[in-house]
Amino acid sequence: MLAIARYALKTPYHAASMVGILAILSLFIPLVSILSGALVGLIILTQGLISGTRVIVVSMIGVSIVSYLMTQSPELGIVIGLVQWLPMMVLAEVLRRTRSLSFSLVVGMGLAMLTVAIQFLFWPDSQKLWMQVLIQFFEASGTTETDLEQIRPGLENLVYWMSIMLVAVMFSTFIATLLLARWFQSRLADSDSYRNEFYGIRLGQSIAIMALVILVASLILRLDWLLSMLSVVLATFLYQGLAIAHSWSKARGKSMLLYILYVLMIIFPHMLGLTALLGVLDNWIDFRKRLKSVPE
């Protein structure tokens, strides 16, 4: 991946061609979109917002031309630009100006919560729309009405949690992309700055109090929009929890336990919430400071 990053930084045209190619590949391999967005973030971090915007515009034109030749739908480039690259422009520029991953996380969380408000304000019936799409898909695949009735409860539950978690998942993807861009920048400069910044993520007590208020309110009121905002908040503090885990692993030389933590988070989603809660409590307990005070 570093070779791709080095190639993209040669000239604006190298960057635009690589970002555009990866954007097209992401239509077939979704995870490639993270690499495409990371290159956009890297260009902004190293060369500024104007250079990043120029690369995005050229890439959007290129993707639109390819899309038109293949599907007669040139709007694909605009959609990719808005969905994949516009959020990265904002986050990368905030990080470039502030040099703070913690502040960038807070800004991203605020934008994600604003997106949740827009989602539930302007698309309150999004669950019905998703349900209709899924039903049409199963009907087109030859599923009988009897079978549809049997799986409908499961589909409704899936659609419900999709609508609740949608913004949080997108937000987590953009933050992971931003971290990859910052890692590229640090490695290309042969520096340990990224590791130090990541290990030092701390969102602050005021943000942690807000997280606890949203947690209590969502558990009491059980409102969908509150649950969606809670998922965004937990996704944010997950990174502080991971910073603690990585710091502990580095200090104790126990990298295997870190791998086990990631496996557990994949197998048991509740571990994500517990790790996020660790990040919330860290704003008062300061686990990393306590870790340094414990003799080796």
Spatial contact of 166 and 119, defined as CB atoms under 8 Å apart: yes
Q: What's the whole-model pTM score?
A: 0.89
Token code pair at residue 26: 């992401």
* Cβ-Cβ contacts under 8 Å for 30 (sequence gap 6 or more): none
8 A C-beta contact, residue 20 and residue 33: no
8 Å CB contact between 38 and 177: yes
Stretch 99-109: mean pLDDT, rounded?
95
Name the band, by pLDDT with cuts 50, 70 and 90, for residue 97.
Answer: very high
Confidence of residue 149 (pLDDT cuts 50, 70, 90): confident
What secondary structure letter does DSSP report for 223? -
Q: What is the DSSP letter of 28?
A: T
Q: CB of 250 within 8 A of CB of 288?
A: no
Distance CA 105, CA 179 (A): 10
Q: What are the residue boundaries of the structural domains of the chain, listed by start? A: 1-98, 101-296
Q: Give the rounded percent of residues in the chain with a pLDDT score beyond 70.
A: 96
Overall average pLDDT of the 35-64 stretch: 87
Is the pLDDT at 23 greater than 80? The verdict is no
When mean pLDDT is compared across 6-10, 46-50, 149-153, 289-293, the lowest value belongs to: 289-293
- Return the half-sphere exposure (C-beta side, CA atoms, 13 A cut-off) of residue 289: 6
Rg of the chain taking only CA atoms, in angstroms: 21
Contact (CB, 8 A) for 272 and 238: yes
Average pLDDT over residues 172-192: 92
Return the half-sphere exposure (C-beta side, CA atoms, 13 A cut-off) of residue 206. Answer: 2
- pLDDT band at residue 296, thresholds of 50, 70 and 90? very low
Does residue 104 register a pLDDT over 90? yes
What's the count of helices (H) and strands (E) in the chain, helices before strands?
Answer: 15, 0
User: What would the mean pLDDT of 156-169 be, rounded to a whole number?
Assistant: 89
